[in-house]
Structure 1
Amino acid sequence: MLTNYAPKWSETQGDWVCDFYESGRRHRWRLGIRDSKKQKVTGPAAELRYRQLLNELLAKTSEDGDVIFAEAVRNYDASEEQRRKLANALEHFEAVPVSKISKESFWKAGRKHFPNGSLETVGREFVGPAHAAINQQLGSSPVRRDDRRRERFLLPDEAAGCRRRPAWRASSDLGTSSVEYGKLLLS
């Protein structure tokens, strides 16, 4: 049975490694078992370490069990660019508990921070990174979105020209290959 703390062999470190998220934090440690063939020994060792970690986390949890936004951002495993974007949200929500922050409050604060920005800018620069930090803290999975690659649509005069010319000539005029041109005609 695979658990979230299941150890994995690391060739680079030459050791069994546990790497997982618990309570919004990333936990990584080496088990100190340097033999790649001792997988049966690593399971109980990892479980013992995991139980110790859970007991420590339960002892630290307050009665209400709520975490402030600044702590959620600190626990978030983000790139440098995301950290820069999260600094904007920290200005507005630093001491606010995570459970008290609504989606509407993120959008309102984002509009205050980017008064002339479009909704896409506010969502990309403010709301998205802040939601990612909160989702990780709450243990929910990230929001999955469909592929949003831009597509090139033909202008009306280009489309009219495509109907009159052979495919090989029209494709060279548009700067696309004949395969791409065929896809344009079929769609």
Structure 2
Amino acid sequence: MPVWRNGDWEYDRYIGGKRFRRRLGIRDESYKELAIELSRRDFEKAWEQILNPVPTFAEAALLYMKHTGNRRYLKRIIAYFGKNTRIDQLDEPRILRAAAAIADRRSKETGKMWQPSTIKCQAIAPIKAVINFIKGTRRERRARRVRDIYLTPAEVEALIKMAQTPEKAGVHDKHHRLLKIIVFMVATGCGPGETFAVNVEDFNWSTNEVYIPAVEDGAGKTLFRARWVHLPDKAIALIGELPKSGRAFLSSRGNPIPLRDHGGGQIAKQFRKLCRAAGLPDAVVPYTLRHTWATFFSAQVGDHDRLLDQGGWGNSDTARDYRKKYPADLAEQLDAFGWDFRRET
């Protein structure tokens, strides 16, 4: 039974060996029946917890880290929820509020605002991963067919030189339009479809940036693909002059390249000829250039959040698939060939 004490109704009792104590916030002594009803409901919840225990987020997170070995981003999330927040209390609105609060706190600490993709990657996704793990609904990561190659700086240089002299590869491209496409993809990480969809009006030459809207069919896969990408100085010099308006990158015959899902095949035959003439492996396809950019960017910049933002990935694991293992001196190799993906932010 609740008791009236110090101007409020409260209860203090043990249930299943655990102490439950609470002031009910009813500051009118005449509301005894209401106090009894509220305490009864609390006791029922308490017995439910004891008979059907639900772990706290902290407990679940510790188990998750122990069994998966993944500790990334969880320390600050555990600190936010504390020791007592239970898994069954985390519905979608509370997860979103928690993510926003964690992002705001982290932004104040670093002086840098988190982008929506960063909030999802570093707060929402880890919270849901722990919840799904403890509920047994975690999807096992399936084996994916991931390209395991990227071009070295020397191989990129060989491909560029061949694209500058395409006749040596049996490719008719006197205006070097394939060169512009190849350089743009290596420099920005854009996929073929995104590259073919870029318009001249999307360039901001004052900052050496290009906006990738990813709104046309065949130009992008997800909402995360819409983004600004940056062109290193070497890329600008190699790309050279573009059309006055409309599509920035054209076919070797000077026509806009039709967009389609899983783009790249539109230039595959000519690209293959250039690669063979440059001595590159047969496994190299236009999309290999996106893997190449991700690896170069990681080696020289080393900022995984920026990699996600610049690459247009909403999933951190996907970005890691694109970023290949590289030697410790890859950044120096890039410097030697004049590639600089670093940028003041």
What TM-score, normalized to structure 2? 0.28
Highest CA radius of gyration, 1 or 2? 2
Normalised to the residue count of structure 1, the TM-score between the two structures is: 0.48
